[in-house]
Structure 1
C-alpha cells in the first residue's frame, strides 16, 4: 500500500536515527523527502500516526521544528509490504522489494515465511470445499507453447495442460495409448494410422478431431523446423484426416523412433481454431486437452484449475498455484522453515529425511564437453584433445559440486560404481603425462574458447580454474540457451552442455548427436550419419541401445566427447500425500495427487 511505501521512504531518509528516539524536523523538510505539498504531508503523518507507526508532535508555526518518533523498523515494514504483495499474487515484486533493500536478514525471514505458504490447503466458501496445492518452482516460465518451450519447468507445466497421441511409461520401455486408443503401421513402416478417442474436449469446450492433430503436427513443422526432435517430424511428407477420428501420417522413410517422438510434449495436440485466432502462437495463453487448464498468470504465479471434462477423469485437486521463485542450484530445508508437502530438486538434512519420503528419479542430467573440430586451432590435434581428457580431474570437480546427487560419469548410460572408481583412478594415474603431452601437441599457451549457457557458468568457472592449474588457458563465452544451437557457438573450440536423460533417452541422444554433427570433422560426420541411420531402421530396442553405446565409445576413444558428471534429482513429499506419481525426472503429476 502507498502509505507504507511513504513510511519506508521517510525511515530510509534517517538511517542513523533509532526507533523510539525523538528527532526535531519541520513539515517542509519531510515534504521534500516525499516530494509532496505541506498539506499532503500533514495528512500522511496523521495516517501513519493512526497506524501507530510513528508519533508526530507538531509545534505551531510553519518554520518551527516539531518532534518525530519512529516506532516501526524498516525491516518490519518491508516484510509487511512484501506479504501484502504476495496476497495480491505479485510474488516477483515482493522479492524485488526485499532484494533491493539490501537487508539479507529480511530476505531470509521472508523466505522462511514464504515456505509456510506452500503446500496443500482446503478453502471453504460456504458449503463448497476447494483443495489447493501451492507448488514452488525455482525457474522462470517464459513460454507454454509446446512448439517453443526450452526449460524443464516449462515442460512440466505443458505436461499438465496438454496431451499427445500416445504416451511413454516412466521407465521408457513401453508406448501406451492416450489421445489415440489404437494405431497400426503398414509393411514398409512408413504409413502410420491412428484411431482417436471420441469425446475428448479442449479446455474451451470444443471436441478434439483428427484435423486438430493434423494442424498441430504441420504447425510444428512450420514454427520449429530446427527445434527439438525436428529430425522426427521433418520426415513427415503427408498427413490425412479421412474422418474425425482417423489420422494417417506418411513418412518419407522408415523411422523406428517416430512413435516415441509422438509421446513427447513437443507433439502435444493444440486446437486449430484457438491458435489461429491468437495469430498462430500460444505463448502464455495455452489451450489443450490436459487435466488442468491455465486460468491466470501474473507476476510469477501461474494458476492451474482442474479440467472437469478431462477424458481420463477429473483429479482430486481443484487448483494448483505454481509460484516461480528465483533460480537456484537446489532448494535447502532447515529446521527453522515450515516445509511444504511436495518439493522438486531438493536436498534434505538427515533430521528432516526421517519425516519425509524421498524418491531418487530414474532420469538424470549428464554434463559433458564436445570439441568443435571444424575450427582451426589446438584442438584439431588429437594429442591436445587427449591432454584435455587427462587434465580433467573429476575428483576435484565433484568436490566443488558436493552433494549426494552428484556422481562421476563416463557414459550416457548408467554404470556400476566399480566402473566409475576404475575410471577415476585411471584418470589420476595419467596426470603425470600431461606436461609431456602438451609439449608433444605443440601447445604454446594459446587461449581455448569454451562456450556454454549462463546456467552452467559455475561449471565453466571450475573447469577454467582446473585447466589453468594444468597450464591450459580457457576463455568462457556465455550464450543464451535458446540461441545455443545457432551459429555463435561455432566460434568456440569447446562446448559445455548437458543432456536430460529421461524416458525419452533415445530421442534425446539422437537429437544431441545431430547437434554434435554440426561441429564434427568430416570423418565423425560420416560416423554419426551412419549410426543414426541404423538407429532409425532398427526395430529392436536393445539393438538400438547397443548402437548408441558403440557410437559413444568411438567418440570417447578419439576424445571428441569428454564426460564431466551425472546429476540425479530427488523429489521429497510428505507422508500425508497419496497418489504421488512421478515422471522419470521426478516431476509430480498433479492430477494423481490427493491428501489425507
Structure 2
C-alpha cells in the first residue's frame, strides 16, 4: 500500500466531525491544499489516486465559489488497520507505533492493532538474501532505563549490557568459580592484597580498536569519575599498575577475598577509553549497538567478537507500553512473515524460577504511623505469604522469608488471623489514618496492591493506592508510605546480595534512614575479607535485620516464563532468568 492511505487518514482527521462514510462533504481545493500541505496540482493528483483505489469519490465544483463534493467510501478504522498491518508485515515497527499515536484510536481497535504488533515479536528469518538473516524481536512494556555499566540498576538492562560488553572474568554459577573472559588468566598474592590479570591479545572493540590494559584502568576511573552507585565495592583499590599493554595489577589497602566477584560484575564491563559510552555504546561483546532511541534498541552480531560469533544476526528490543505481557516471546515465524495460526502447536513454554523475591519496603523518610513497629507487624500479617499465593496465584510459586529460595524453604510459614493485625494496629496508635501504597503498573504489582486494599478494609485499615508509571523517587518520597517492589538477583548470589545492601541506586538505599543503613553497614563491614561461608553468614544476619525489624516484608518467589519455538536450540539461561541470546539458533530441518 502506498501513501494514499496516509493521505486518506489525514483528510479524514482534518475534516472530522464532518466525516461521514458514503455522504458527500462540501470542500474546496484551497481547504485540501492546506490540509495536505501541497500545491493544488498535487492535491488533484492525490485525489485521483484515492479514487483509483476506491477510497473516495470526488466531484469537482463547477465555477468560482462552488464547493466540490468529497465522499469517503471506507471507515477510518478499516483503513488505519489495513495500513498498520502493511507496516508491521514489512518490519516497519516504529512507523506502525507512531501511527497509533498519530490518530484517535478507540480501545477495541487499539487492542486489535497491538495484537498484530505482538505477533511480530519473536524470531524472523528475513527473505531476499542468501545469508538468511535471522532476527529476534522482543517487546517490553516499559521504556529503556540507563544503558550504562557504571549506572545500571535494572535486571533487563544489565542483561542487555552483558551482550554488548565483556568483563575480565565471568562467574560460573554451576561450579561456584570463575572462568576467563577478556583476561585469559589471573593470580593473587598470598594475602589477597594484590591481583594481576593477563589480558587476551587482539580483542577488538566494536569501533575497531584493539583493547589494552589502559582501557581496563580507565574503566575503573570512569566509575570513580561518574560517582557510580557501585563505587563503594572498589574502595579497597589503592593503586593500578599498567605492567604492559596486556598485564594490569591492582593493589589493595587490605585483604579482599571477594575481589574477583567485583571484576566479573557488570560494573567492570571494559569500555574503550577513547569513546564516550553514554553517547556511543561501544564494548567488546558478541553484539554491537546498531540503533538506540526511545522506541527501539537494535543489536547486530559482531563478526570480530573474540569468542564465538552469535548465530542470531540481529536483536531488536521494542518499547510497546500497552502490550503489558510478562511472558517473553521467543517464537519462530516463517520467511513469509506469517505467524502460526492460533491454536496450532507453536512450541512450548519454559519456566525460570527467579533468584530473588517480591517484597514491601517502607518509606522511613516520610513521617507516619508506619514508623511504628507494631503497625508494620500488622502489615506483615496483612501481607501474608501463603494467603497471597493461594488467593492470587499466577507466577507466585513459593512464600518468601529471604531473597534466597533455599533459605525460604527452611522457614515454617503460618497464617495468623486478621484480628491479630487489628490488635497490633491499635497498639501502634492507629486512628484511621490513610497509608499510601506505591506500586509500578505491572500485573503482579496491581494485583497485590488491590489485594492489600481489600484485606485492609476487613480490619479497618485505610490504604490508598498510588500507581507509578515509572520509578520516580521524588514522587515516592513525597507520597508513599509503602512500596511494592521485586528484587531479582544474579547467578552470583553473594555478589547480588552485597550489591543490594551497598548499592546507592536501589529502593533500599533510597528509603531507609541513615541510622538503619549504618546498622547494615556495621554488620557487613568485614564482608570482603572473609571466606565464602562466613560471608554467607553475614548476609543472613543482614537479612534478619530487615526481617526482624519489619523494615522489609518478604512476599513470594516468582516463576518467570518464556514462550519458545519447538525449532529453537541453544537454550542457556543466564543471570536474572533470561536466555543467553548469543547462544540461540534456529533449526529449520528438512523442507
TM-score (norm 1): 0.83
CA distance in 1, matches of 2:482, 2:83: 47
Q: Alignment partner of 2:576: what SS?
A: coil
Q: Which residue of 1 aligns with 2:460?
A: 471
Question: How has the CA–CA distance of structure 1 residues 42 and 500 changed in structure 2, closer, same or farther, with 3 Å as cutoff?
Answer: same
Contact in 2 for aligned 1:290/1:307 (Cα 8 Å): yes
The equivalent of 2:338 in structure 1 is none
- Tell me the equivalent position of 1:346: none
Give the equivalent residue in structure 2 for 1:287.
Answer: 282
Shift of 1:472: 2.9
What is the CA-CA distance between 1:222 and the residue it aligns to?
1.5
1:194 matched to 2:189? The reply is no
Distance 1:482 1:392, change over 3 A: closer
3-state SS of the aligned residue for 2:542? helix
**1:556 is matched with which residue?**
547
Residue 207 of structure 1 corresponds to: 210
Partners of 1:77 and 1:185 in 2: CA distance: 68
8 Å CA contact retained: 2:144, 2:157: yes
Alignment of 1:169-568 (within 5 A): 169-171=172-174, 173-225=176-228, 227=229, 229-275=230-276, 282-283=277-278, 285-298=280-293, 300-326=295-321, 329-331=324-326, 340-341=331-332, 355-372=346-363, 377-394=368-385, 397-398=388-389, 401-415=392-406, 422-423=412-413, 426-427=414-415, 429-450=416-437, 458=446, 459-460=448-449, 462-474=451-463, 484=473, 489=477, 493-514=481-502, 516=508, 524-525=516-517, 527-540=519-532, 542-568=533-559
Find the aligned partners of 2:303 and 2:387 in 1 and give their Cα distance: 52
Q: Bigger CA drift: 84-93 or 123-132?
A: 84-93
The CA distance in 2 between the partners of 1:218 and 1:301, in whole Å, is 30
> Following the alignment from structure 1 to structure 2, what is the Cα–Cα distance between the partners of residues 124 and 509?
46
Superposed CA deviations along residues 142-196 of structure 1, whole A, max 9, x for unmatched, are: 4432223343332222111110011123558222111111112222312111111
Alpha-carbon separation, structure 2, partners of 1:101 and 1:81: 15
Separation of aligned partners in 2, 1:319 and 1:467: 49
- Report how far residue 104 of structure 1 moved: 3.0
Deviates more, 1:405-414 or 1:61-70: 61-70
Deviation of residue 588 (structure 1)?
A: 2.4
CA deviation profile, 1:14-70 (whole Å, cap 9, x unmatched) = 668764x34253435963883767655433322211232122234533444555443
**Alignment correspondent of 2:166:** 163
For the structure 1 residues 273 and 480, does the alpha-carbon distance in structure 2 shift closer, same or farther, using more than 3 Å as the test? farther
Counterpart of 1:313 in 2: which secondary structure? coil
SS of corresponding position for 1:502: coil
Give the whole-Å Cα distance in 2 for the aligned partners of 1:353 and 1:31.
Answer: 48
Partner residue in 1 for 2:576 = 585
Q: Mapping of 1:42-81 within 5 angstroms?
A: 42-58=44-60, 60-64=62-66, 67-81=69-83
Name the structure 2 match of 1:23.
24
| Stretch deviating more after TM superposition (213-222 or 550-559) | 550-559
- CA displacement, residues 464-509 of structure 1 (integer Å, 9 cap, x when unaligned): 454344333345667787664x897388654443211221322232
Please say if residues 209 and 245 of structure 1, whose CA atoms lie closer than 8 Å, have aligned partners that are also in contact: yes
Change (3 A) 1:463 1:285: farther
Distance 1:58 1:140 in 2: 48
Q: How many residues are matched? A: 569
Residues 524, 43 of structure 1: alpha-carbon distance in 2 compared, 3 angstrom cutoff:
closer
CA distance in 2, matches of 1:165, 1:50: 63
Tell me the CA shift for residue 215 of structure 1: 0.5
Cα distance between partner residues in 1 of 2:239 and 2:137: 44
What is the distance in 1 between the residues matched to 2:218 and 2:158? 21
Q: What do residues 554-583 of structure 1 show as CA deviations (whole Å, max 9, x unaligned)?
A: 432232221122222122311211212221
Alignment gaps of 5+ in structure 2: 334-341
How much does 1:209 deviate? 0.6
Larger mean CA deviation between 265-274 and 107-116 belongs to 107-116
State which drifts further: 200-209 or 459-468: 459-468
CA distance change for structure 1 residues 430 and 482 in 2, over 3 Å: closer, same or farther? closer
SS, match of residue 63 in structure 2: coil
- Return closer, same or farther for 1:405/1:494 CA change in 2, 3 Å cut-off: closer
Residue 330 of structure 1: SS of its match in structure 2?
coil
Residue 87 to residue 509, structure 1, CA distance change in 2 (3 Å): same
Check the 8 A contact 1:90/1:298 in 2, yes or no: no
Task: Tell me the CA shift for residue 238 of structure 1.
Answer: 1.9
- When structure 1 is superposed on structure 2, of 188-197 and 31-40 the one drifting more is 31-40
Judge conservation of contact 1:569–1:585 (CA < 8 Å) in 2: no
> CA–CA distance in 2 between the matches of 1:579 and 1:18?
55
Q: Which residue of 2 aligns with 1:97?
A: 99
From 143, 149, 152, give the equivalent of 2:152: 149
| RMSD between superposed Cα atoms in Å | 3.7
Provide the C-alpha distance between the structure 2 equivalents of 1:256 and 1:140, rounded to a whole number of angstroms: 38
Determine the C-alpha separation between the residues in 2 that align with 1:16 and 1:120: 44
Contact 1:387 / 1:437 at 8 angstroms: preserved in 2?
A: yes
Post-superposition shift, 1:309?
A: 1.4
User: Aligned with 2:284: secondary structure?
Assistant: coil
